[in-house]
């Protein structure tokens, strides 16, 4: 009997020591979202940018990252984990702690609903509402393997973060439009972007903003415009509906599809736009076709 009590005592003391001094969080929040991890991570990034005194301080891919938030004299640390359940459902875990008052929180939490818990729940609830609202504003249909057709095109080269992709395109549209008109260049299809570099940890991209054209006998010169041929290649395709600012959601959906189907892809999408945002209308009717080239098919 004494041995049993001794073992129980050791286990209780060990558990208490782990809980108070070794467990790396004070409180955990779990919830689910009806979308894929990339869309969730980008929404959290946008939400973080809108908050005062908040920053992402560490990233390990798009499914694990650390956020620091300041509330008055308190600094809260959120460790995010996003777990893909299927192509339309993910689980999110948020491990929260107070950087300076973690021990006092751990002591108080079992006996009361602390201000720290209330603040954490409210903060995550605000994010959850923003996420639900965003999910309702776009749709991605992954089609599968399809040929990306070859086309000759005129392009400008841009570098920006993912969120400012369409802003960069709008800034270059007058240059391309006036150049085509003044040089009698004939368009031959939908405008598109060809991503040439994508740093997911920094949310930065480099891309060519292109218009397919009928190849002239001599390419008219402009110092900011280059000409190239988009090569025919095997790819996986998705159709995106929604505001083009967030069409990169389809990029993440294609990466998930490639991983699930053991396809090695370049990670550099090509995206064709079929609507003119300047004409307005229901954004869910705006369509983009997105291709992710397959490596062994290049």
Stretch 127-148: mean pLDDT, rounded? 97
Q: Tell me the three state secondary structure of residue 113.
A: coil
Question: What are 19-28's pLDDT values in tens digits?
Answer: 554 467 899 9
The whole-angstrom separation of Cα 173 and Cα 273 is 13
> Given pLDDT bands bounded at 50, 70 and 90, which one contains residue 296?
confident
Per the structure block, which two tokens stand in for 5? 């009590």
Count of C-beta atoms within a 10 Å radius of residue 145? 12
Write out the two tokens for 188: 């031959």
Q: Measured between alpha carbons, how far is 289 from 12 in angstroms, rounded to an integer? A: 58
Average pLDDT, the chain: 91
pLDDT of residue 102: 83
Q: Domain residue spans in the chain?
A: 23-136, 141-297
Model pTM score: 0.91
| DSSP structural state of residue 4 | H
Q: Taking 90 as the threshold, does the pLDDT of residue 109 lie above it?
A: no
pLDDT the model gives residue 110: 81
| CA angle at 259 for the pair 240 and 210, rounded to the nearest 5° | 40
pLDDT score for 112: 83
Q: Which H helix or E strand runs over 15?
A: helix 2-17
Partners of 273 in beta bridges: 288
Instruction: List, for residues 142-198, the tens digit of each pLDDT value.
Output: 999 999 999 999 999 999 999 999 999 999 999 999 999 999 999 999 999 999 999
Mean pLDDT of 246-264: 97
Continuous segment of H or E residues that includes residue 126: helix 115-135
Q: Which of 86-95, 102-111, 120-129, 163-172 has the lowest mean pLDDT?
A: 102-111
CATH level 3 topology of 141-297? Multidrug-efflux Transporter 1 Regulator Bmrr; Chain A (3.20.80)
CATH class of 23-136: alpha beta
**Closest residue by Cα to residue 138 from 284, 298, 296, 292:** 284
pLDDT value of position 227: 97
| Residue 75 predicted with pLDDT over 50 | yes
């Amino acid at each position: 009997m004494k041995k049993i009590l001794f073992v129980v005592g050791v286990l209780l003391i060990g558990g208490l020591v782990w809980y108070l001094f070794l467990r790396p969080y004070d409180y955990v929040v779990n919830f689910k979202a009806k979308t894929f991890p990339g869309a969730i991570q980008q929404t959290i990034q946008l939400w973080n940018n809108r908050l005062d005194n908040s920053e992402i301080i560490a990233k390990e891919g798009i499914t694990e990252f650390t956020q620091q938030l300041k509330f008055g004299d308190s600094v809260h640390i959120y460790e995010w984990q996003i777990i893909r359940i299927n192509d339309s459902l993910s689980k999110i875990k948020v491990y929260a702690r107070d950087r300076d008052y973690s021990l006092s929180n751990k002591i108080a939490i079992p006996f009361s609903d602390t201000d720290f818990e209330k603040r954490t729940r409210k903060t995550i609830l605000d994010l959850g509402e923003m996420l639900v609202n965003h999910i309702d504003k776009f749709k991605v249909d992954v089609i599968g393997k399809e040929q990306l057709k070859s086309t000759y095109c005129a392009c400008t080269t841009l570098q920006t973060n993912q969120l400012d992709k369409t802003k960069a395109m709008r800034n270059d549209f007058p240059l391309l439009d006036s150049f085509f008109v003044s040089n009698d260049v004939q368009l031959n299809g939908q405008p598109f972007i060809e991503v040439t570099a994508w740093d997911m940890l920094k949310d930065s991209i480099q891309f060519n903003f292109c218009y397919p054209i009928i190849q002239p006998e001599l390419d008219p010169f402009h110092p900011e415009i280059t000409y190239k041929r988009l090569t025919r290649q095997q790819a996986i395709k998705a159709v995106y509906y929604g505001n083009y600012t967030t069409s990169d959601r389809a990029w993440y959906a294609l990466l998930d599809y490639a991983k699930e189907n053991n396809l090695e892809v370049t990670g550099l999408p090509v995206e064709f736009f079929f609507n003119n945002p300047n004409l307005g209308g229901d954004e869910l009717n705006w369509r983009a076709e997105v291709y992710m080239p397959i490596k062994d098919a290049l």
